[in-house]
Structure 1
Amino acid sequence: MRNFSSDLRRFLRPLAIASVIAFGALSSSLAQTAPADSAKTAAPAEKAAGGAAPIGDSKAGEALFKANCTSCHALNKRVLGPALAGVTEKQSREWLHKWIKNSPAFIATGDKDAVAIYEEFNKAGMTPFPQFSDNDIDNILAYIKVEGDKKPAAAAGSGAATADAAGTSDGGISNFMIFGLIAVVVIAFLVILVLNRVIGTLERLLLKKEGEVILPDEQDDEDAEPKDRLATVKKLAKNKKLVFFVVLAVTITLGSFGWMGLWNTGVQQGYQPVQPIKFSHQLHAGTNQIQCQYCHSGAWKSKNATIPSLNICMNCHKYVQATEKYNGEISPEIAKIYSALDYNPETQKYGDNPRPIEWVRIHNLPDLAYFNHSQHVKVAGIKCQKCHGPIQEMQEVYQYSPLTMKWCINCHKETQVNSKGNPYYDKVIAAHDKIKKGEKVTAAVLGGIECGKCHY
């Protein structure tokens, strides 16, 4: 039997090696065919460009285009300005030079095409670029020519790729051969696994039958008495002192966890829900240094900080579309704003079907607690970061502070009141002075007739 086992294992080794070689050959073949396929698709792309070679360096033009043009233009899509693919065929090079360097002056000359574009885009003039040399503009136009012509080439390349996928490419490896090699490798490994299991079973049966080895896990000892595995546990259970201390420890542990659970009930520190739009405070409040009150204007004058309306977003994002980061396409998050407002960025007009953005509230206080933002922000002059944490560093906002009663009381104990030049505290100090002089102080003097005392 041992000879049979060794012979069978000697047979399996070459089979495993052959499987590894087949798998390696498959990987090598795929790696070699990839450049050939790319070379095939490159040739039609070059042909698709067709015509005379553009004047200028497209590589240098790419850097200039992305740095100066992508905020308003895309190659194959209208953004704030028209799509630029094919513009070198529509207009002469001299015309484009005049338009790019100073479009307002060019429009003032009464050029028919310049005036038509100006009227088509709601009389929104293009930014002049007098700093561009003729060579810079030629480089940009070369980039537009090369990249704009790649769209039909890509379509032709996809057709060629489809033909190769069907197994009709010349000189390449067919899909049948690739899947055949994969099937051989998978079957070989399955055979190896099955045969190894069979060999192990046969060896154990043979050795047990001949009496050469008695395996511990298969030993049949019918005469031995069964062991009581719970004897140690039963012995410890009879120790009253040990049982007492175990019960006491369990009670203290459970009580501690229960007490902590009661204290943390309703506390949502670290709460970070998924919002419908990935608004980055790090970008807006941090990098761009936009003041908090620009969006949350209610924090300065009312109880609530208020959620900014989408009109505030459009003050910037009617023009800022981050197209330079998405290959000329509008940012997906900015597109959500347009969709909610039913706004068409191409025509710059609003539709009749707007809908609200369903933001998820992060900071929640119970109804029994009254908190006034203006009292803290305007009167006390407290910074937003005192409660909300380093908001200018948060990519996604989360609840920084616990917002518990203990946390608020500790803040009130530690925060020093600055009454200088503050009309609110001037009234309080004046009331205290009246009390010291023995004068009558009514509730109205202390602000008892203010609307917010009762209505909020």
Structure 2
Amino acid sequence: MRNISLLFRSVVKSLILVSVLSIAAVSARAQDVKEGASLFKQKCVSCHAPNMTSASVGPALKDVTKRHDEEWLLKWIRNSQALVQSGDEQAVALFEGHNNVVMTAFPELTDDNIKNILAYIDEASEAPAGGGDDGTGDGAAAASDDVTNFMLYGLIAVIVIAFVVIVVLNRVIRTLERIILNKNVIIEEEEETEGEGKNYLEAIKKLAKNKKLVFFFVLGLVVFLGSVGWKTMWNVGVHEGYQPVQPIKFSHQLHAGVNQIECQYCHSGAFKSKNASIPSANVCMNCHKFVTASDKYNGETSPEIQKIYNALDWDPATQEYGQNQRPIQWVRIHNLPDFAYFNHSQHVTVAGIECQQCHGPIETMEEVYQYSPLTMKWCVNCHRETEVNHKDNAYYDQLIAAHEQLKEGDKITAASLGGLECGKCHY
């Protein structure tokens, strides 16, 4: 029996060691991929499609680690032109095979940074087609994060259950050892005791009376459930990665990317209004009276363009509109809660912020998805980091003048800070 006890303790130690190492490995892997996803968005997404399967300015990155050696990729990503000029055959072939487009050098990236990016590319490449889709990328990252979190929580749950079982079995073994030593009872291995079930129940009751053990078990359970609940509640109303199917397959990659149509040509409200506005179908018809993409459909109008004609009851033959017009029911993607106020013109016109800063690489999206979380934390961080351009702005000139008055000891009234503006009260 003593040998069994020693063997049991050895197994317990091994199990604990394996569990700790497993958690460390999963956590490290999750951190690597998460950092890689962040770096990919900052450095790579302007030229490479986030879904890893489509070519953009640069080539598709799916299975890039299988096509090239890691050491070579480290050199190529850090400074591709240096590698090309050195005469490296792979580098020269890749450079010439993509119309001699120069890839941006990233000398600031460490080897670990680049390896994390490659780890994220591998994860995104393995994501199922339905999860991230063409042109998302956050879909793949979200899927990767979900799987990693599921593995981590699952492993923690298994460890907690295993710990309880181990403690119970350990107490049972000690109880049996004491019985054998005190009463000198010899138990044959093949003998079955009738009170085995009762002993387990008594052992559990004894454990329940151990206040310290119960306290730490309940504390651990509360911490675990609290962390899971906190993360779940924190993500309520956050729709990052949301990618609905629209009634018309409008490709931003084609219009904003290939054809380079200015965003505000369609979303004209962005520079003068709170809302960016969804363009009415007559804006589409400025081009699609003439552009039908019939060369790709054997002389027939593209099915997607035909949907515009149907909505407007437009007859291409007579070039006239009918009476049976109906609105196109676009599905809204970016939807702030009612208590949050956001003004597009304040950001686009006054601050000069590019659309991509909030909406991501819209010019590469075949189907639009919500790129940013649009949470208060995300907005506040941007406001903390973005410098205000106060030059040639009468409003900030007024504030600076008021500040100088304060320094000289003069009084400042509400009127000096825009208190007479109608909109301050009549909003």
Give the TM-score, by structure 2 length. Answer: 0.50
Q: Pick 1 or 2: higher relative contact order, CA cutoff 8 A, min separation 6.
A: 1
Larger Rg: 1
